[in-house]
Amino acid sequence: MNYPFAHLPFHRQRFFFGILLLLTLLVMGILAWMERPLAKAGASIVDFELAGTLDKAQTIMHGWGEANRQLARQQTVVDFVFLVLYPLAIALGCGLAARQFSTGSWSVTVGLYLAWAQLAAGLLDAVEHVVLLRLLQGAQHPSLPLIARWCALPKFAIVGVGFIYVLIGASTWAFHAWKINQGRQSTAHPIRLRQPDHRLKILVGGEKDQVVA
């Protein structure tokens, strides 16, 4: 079983992972900045995603006020960019992390499944965002908050497990790199054995030792 980017050369996988990771962190920072007024108004966007009932969702929107509801709509639109970036970044990270384990082991299999699962998380996030936008635009169907909640919960679980797997893979890589570096240092600087003393002690006449260089 291969993961979504297995067809790419290894150096390109690392390159794209670095680019996607930087873009993901950049957009994450923008979203966090946009969310600050919402949290100060009493509820974060995550609270809104997990509301689960129409009454609770409307209570959150009422507490935000019109200005913050507009900000929440803008943030949700920006979040569409984020939901493209982070699944690709974590999927690539899982594939790269899987290379740190023995071929054919269960650790590799878990990483490959997690890589595919990140794409599913992105689809769940997209459905969730469409639902949230409908709520923010005034839709009042009772099932909408429930749909958003049951898209958000598995999404968070998949992304969380994938992130942990990437961290484990990165830690394993760092440990192996450290061991290789230690081995190189030992080879470059071999231990010097103490030179033997060439002076010999010779017993003379059975009475005293005489040291001859």
pLDDT of residue 210: 46
pLDDT tens digits in sequence order for the chain, 213 residues long: 677 888 889 889 999 999 999 999 999 999 999 999 999 998 999 999 999 999 999 999 999 999 999 999 999 999 999 999 999 999 999 999 998 888 878 999 999 999 999 999 999 999 999 999 999 999 999 999 999 999 999 999 999 999 999 999 999 888 877 777 777 766 655 555 455 544 434 444 444 444 444
Q: Checking phi first, is residue 45 left (phi over 0); if not, alpha (psi -120 to 50) or beta? A: alpha
Whole-angstrom CA distances from 201 to 39, 48, 205, 207 are: 86, 90, 13, 13
Helices (H), 10-53: 10-40, 45-49
What is the residue extent of each domain of the chain?
Answer: 10-188
Residue in the structure block whose two tokens are 């968070």? 156
pTM of structure: 0.80
Give the percent of the chain with pLDDT over 90: 69
Give the Cα separation of 157 and 62 in Å (integer): 29
DSSP code of 53? S
Rounded (10°) CA dihedral 24, 25, 27, 28: 110
Give the Cα separation of 41 and 62 in Å (integer): 10
Give the percent of the chain with pLDDT over 70: 85
